[in-house]
């Protein structure tokens, strides 16, 4: 897939979102919560249908518009992981660890995301180095410690 510039992406995105003309190139604050949620849902649907390049285009659009929320980094990490771009996925996961450390998560959904992040980090380290380095082993240990016990 040919890499699109942020302007091309914003133009394509503006065809799907009704932004006032003077706000089409502004940061994500130009998007209402409902519009942003719709985009995230659109990304999820594309990921579920394995349309990963389209999902990544939407993710990069949100990022180009200034969105730097943790869920965007998590989503981009998942898509890059699925595309086999382990270095990029690992970069997003490390940024996510700084924005929202796994130990600070409290809800059941956050716990599941934390386990997923740890597993992906361990796999990324293994894919990049051919073995688990110290950080990869720590991620795997964290994942295994948080494993749900069967009843």
When pLDDT is averaged across residues 3-22 and rounded to a whole number, the result is 44
Mean per-residue pLDDT, 22-50: 76
141: Cβ contacts below 8 Å, ≥ 6 apart: none
Angle CA 60–81–2, to nearest 5? 45
What residues contact residue 143 under an 8 Å CB cut-off, 6+ apart? 115, 118, 119, 122
Q: How far apart are CA 43 and CA 79, in angstroms?
A: 10
Q: For 74-98, how does the pLDDT look when each residue is reduced to its tens digit (9 = 90+)?
A: 999 999 999 999 999 999 999 988 8
């Amino acid at each position: 897939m040919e890499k699109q510039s942020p302007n091309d992406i914003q133009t394509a995105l503006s065809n799907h979102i009704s932004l006032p003309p003077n706000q089409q190139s502004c940061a994500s604050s130009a998007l209402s919560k409902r519009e942003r949620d719709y985009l995230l849902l659109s990304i999820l649907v594309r990921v579920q249908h394995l349309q990963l390049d389209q999902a990544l285009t939407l993710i990069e659009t949100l990022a180009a518009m200034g969105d730097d929320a943790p869920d965007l980094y998590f989503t981009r990490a998942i898509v890059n992981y699925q595309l086999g771009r382990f270095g990029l996925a690992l970069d997003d996961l490390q940024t996510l660890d700084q924005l929202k450390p796994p130990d600070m998560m409290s809800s059941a959904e956050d716990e599941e995301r934390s386990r997923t992040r740890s597993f992906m980090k361990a796999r990324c380290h293994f894919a990049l180095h051919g073995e688990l380095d110290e950080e990869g082993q720590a991620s795997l240990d964290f994942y295994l410690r948080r494993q749900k016990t069967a009843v």
